[in-house]
Amino acid sequence: AERLLEIENLTTGFMTEKGFVKATDNISLTIEKGKTLCLVGESGSGKSVTSLSIMRLIDYAGGSILDGKIVFRGDDLAAKDQEEMRKIRGNKIAMIFQDPMSALNPVFSVGDQIAESLRLHQNKSESEAWKEAVNLLRMVGIPAPEIRAKQYPHELSGGMCQRVVIAVALACNPELLIADEPTTALDVTVQAQILDLLQKLKQELGMSILLITHDMGVAAEMADRIAVMYAGAIVEEGTVEEIFANPSHPYTVGLLQSIPGFEGTRGKELYTIKGTIPGLGNLPGGCRFHPRCPHVMDKCKTQEPLDFKVGNDHSAVCWLYEDKAPVVLGRNGGET
C-alpha cells in the first residue's frame, strides 16, 4: 500500500532544569493511505507528543525535534518552518482532541465555524460555504442540520460537539486525520457512535487516521495497524490481527489483560500492570519496562533490547524473542 506518512527515528523532547529530556526516543512509524494506525499506551507514554510533533505544534509547547524525519507525501515536515507548516496544518493534516468544547468557539454558531474553515481553506463564497457546512453536519450524522447549524456549542451535547469538531476538520479535506483520545471524554454509547462515524468517513473519503488511545478495546475496533508505545518508545508494532492473536511484548500483554470482557479476562479479576510509567528523564537502564515486567531477566536490567521479528509484519522490542531475527530499519524507515 502507498505510504502517506513515515516517521523515521524521531527523537523529540523538552529542555528542563535537568537538561534535555526525551519525550519520544528514536521512534519510527508508517501510516498508509486510507488506513488507520492506532498508537496505544498509558498516559505519559509520549503519544500526544508524537502527534504534536507531526503537526509541529511541539514548537509551541516548549519542546523541539532533536533528530529524525517526519515524511509526509515525500516532504520532511521536521525541516519545515512554521510559515510552511501553517499551510499543511488544518489543510492536508487535521487534528481533533479529547475535549470538543475547547476546540470550538463559544461565540459563533457551529455552522459559522465550519463555514469559516471552508472559506479559509477552499476559497468558498459565504453562501456556498454555509450550504457546504450544512452538508458536512449531515455527513457527520447531526439530525436537522439546517437548524443545528445556527446553534451555539453550549446548545449541543458533548457527542454532538465532537461531531461538529470532526466536521470542521473535514472542511479542509485532510488526507490525514489525527485524533487524540477523541472519545475519552464521552459516555460509552456516544463513544461507539463517534468511532463508527470515523470508520465510515475513513471508508467514504479514503482518509488516513492516526488514532491515539489508551484503550486497547478502541484499537481492536478501529485499527489496521497498532503501535504500542511505552515511556517514549514503540515497544511493539504490527497488524491488528497479529497483535491480538499473538501479543508479544509483556507490556502489550498487560494492556490486553486489563480490558474488561477480553478473551482470557472474562470472569476473572482484571489485571493491572504493577507500578507506574517512569517520568521523562527518569528512565531505568536496560529495558525501559523492566521494573514493571513479570518476565524480567538479568540482562533486561542492563541492556536495551533490540526489535525482533515475532511474526509476519509484527515486531517486539524485548529480549524474550532473542532467538528471532532482529528487525533492521532502513534509512527510509522500511524494513530491509
State which residue, 124 or 290, has the beta carbon closest to ligand SF4: 290
Least distance CB 218 / Mg ion (angstroms): 14
Q: Does 306 bind ligand SF4 (CB under 6 A)?
A: no
Residue 72 cell numbers, joined: 509526509
Least distance CB 226 / ligand SF4 (angstroms): 17
Find the binding residues for ligand SF4 in span 226-265 (CB under 6 A). 249-250
State which residue, 72 or 308, has the beta carbon closest to ligand SF4: 308
**Element (H or E) spanning 32, and its range?**
strand 19-32
Q: Does 296 bind ligand SF4 (CB under 6 A)?
A: yes
Distances (CA, A) of 316 to 115, 307, 319: 45, 5, 9
Q: Does 94 bind ligand SF4 (CB under 6 A)?
A: no
Q: Where are the alpha helices (DSSP H) in the chain?
A: 47-54, 82-88, 100-103, 110-122, 126-139, 145-148, 158-170, 188-205, 216-222, 240-245, 250-257
Least distance CB 294 / ligand SF4 (angstroms): 8
Tell how strand 176-180 and strand 208-213 pair up.
parallel
Q: CA 173 to CA 93: how far, in whole Å?
A: 9
Q: Does 300 bind ligand SF4 (CB under 6 A)?
A: yes
Cα dihedral 209, 213, 216, 217, rounded to 10, equals -80
Which of Mg ion, ligand SF4, none does residue 250 bind (CB under 5 to 8 Å by kind)? ligand SF4
180: nearest Cα among 273, 49, 74: 49
Which of ligand SF4, Mg ion, none does residue 305 bind (CB under 5 to 8 Å by kind)? ligand SF4
Task: Pick the binder of ligand SF4 from 166, 186, 255, 293 (CB under 6 A).
Answer: 293
How many amino acids of this chain bind Mg ion (CB under 5 A)? 1
Task: Pick the binder of Mg ion from 12, 24, 36, 48 (CB under 5 A).
Answer: 48
**Element (H or E) spanning 46, and its range?**
none
Q: Report CA 330 to chain centroid distance, whole Å.
A: 23
Give the range of 90-98, 155-163, 214-222, 297-305 binding ligand SF4 by CB under 6 A.
297-305
- Give the binding site for Mg ion (CB under 5 A): 48
- Give the binding site for ligand SF4 (CB under 6 A): 249-250, 287, 289-290, 293, 295-297, 300, 305, 318-320
